[in-house]
Structure 1
């Protein structure tokens, strides 16, 4: 039987310590992506999630059946930004947020496999955002990340520490887009126990 790969264990960039930022090197990875705007507690966010997961699982089954390569479907991830990033880290003005929801896929998953998976998913109970789904690489490179345990609304303190203390204190400056990796399912886990990796791409200032 083929070994089932869990990329959360294989890739160092999916490891983080609670409330303790560290510098990591993130390789270029490929993701299924769907874009959106506004408060994540709205139908648009749920529709994007409901589009990504069926395609991700269809790809997993196709890989296992046709390629004899099995893997654990990766967690939901999100890129987040706003015209004024203080509205994200401090004011938490969710109506002004832009986001891209993502699920990482192995590098052996081809565009043709994604096209076929989308067609199969769309044949029955077609997700609302299926036409907006794409496969795209993301190269973040040097990043700072830490594990937050608790409600998403309680992330601000750790983000302030990362952005205003740890990053400048290590001769770094923020670049790219704030990135979150959701290791817990908010539909099944109480807010106090949610585990989220908070990642910020950086560059050296020297």
Structure 2
């Protein structure tokens, strides 16, 4: 049985540091869970991860066992926003952040597999407290601007400011959706200065009023 690794095969997981890339991102299904607050200190953030990953692995194992298609669980992704986006880009006031954590679900996985996997995880001796809050949902972003940030998460601000204030308007585009991050590195095993994070922003042409 071959094992798919989407981080290596899907174009949407590719960008170069220092370059802003415009790409079309197809509709993608995810396991999602919402929350708010500082990801470094919020118990809500930790609880969200503790619910998301067991379900994702249960779906993966079911795919290999029942469908004969195995895969590497894709990288963690997150949608981030604040009522005032300067709290995210320049002020970095993490207490005001809202987020949706996500793990991609391959196209071949039937919707019923997710609920069956949830039941298996819930039946364990100590199931995640927030398992019921994880949902399966399709995210449609379409046209996006994307770049690769190498370094600590807290150093993203200047690159985001260039993306939002210079490249996007300069390309005749405007922002439409939520800031999207894809974590290509594991922060538990990678030094902050070596972290690789894709920064993605859905956009639309300024002339497009639809």
Q: TM-score w.r.t. structure 1 length?
A: 0.97
User: Which residue pairs with 2:142 in the alignment?
Assistant: 141
Mapping 1:53-68, distance limit 5 Å? 53-68=53-68
Structure 1 residues 120-173: Cα deviation after superposition (integer angstroms, max 9, x where no partner): 112222112101000000010000010101110000011011001111111100
Task: Say whether 1:183 aligns with 2:184.
Answer: yes
SS in structure 2 of the partner of residue 60 of structure 1: helix
Task: Say whether 1:92 aligns with 2:92.
Answer: yes
Structure 1 residues 3-26: Cα deviation after superposition (integer angstroms, max 9, x where no partner): 221222222111011121110110
Task: Say whether 1:22 aligns with 2:24.
Answer: no
SS in structure 2 of the partner of residue 180 of structure 1: strand
Structure 1 residues 27-67: Cα deviation after superposition (integer angstroms, max 9, x where no partner): 00000000001111122111111111111111111101100
User: Which residue pairs with 2:194 in the alignment?
Assistant: 193
Task: Say whether 1:9 aligns with 2:8.
Answer: yes
The 2-side partners of 1:18 and 1:51 are apart by 32
The 1-side partners of 2:101 and 2:30 are apart by 9
Query: How far 1:199 moved relative to its partner?
Result: 0.3
Q: Which runs of 4+ in 1 moved over 6 A?
A: none
Q: TM-score w.r.t. structure 2 length?
A: 0.95
Structure 1 residue ranges without an equivalent (≥5): none
The 1-side partners of 2:123 and 2:132 are apart by 13
SS in structure 2 of the partner of residue 186 of structure 1: coil
The 2-side partners of 1:55 and 1:146 are apart by 29
Aligned length: 205
CA RMSD of aligned residues (A): 0.9
Q: Which is worse superposed, 38-47 or 72-81?
A: 38-47
Task: Say whether 1:113 aligns with 2:113.
Answer: yes
Structure 2 residue ranges without an equivalent (≥5): none
User: Which residue pairs with 1:150 in the alignment?
Assistant: 151
Query: How far 1:72 moved relative to its partner?
Result: 1.3
SS in structure 2 of the partner of residue 92 of structure 1: coil
The 1-side partners of 2:8 and 2:141 are apart by 19
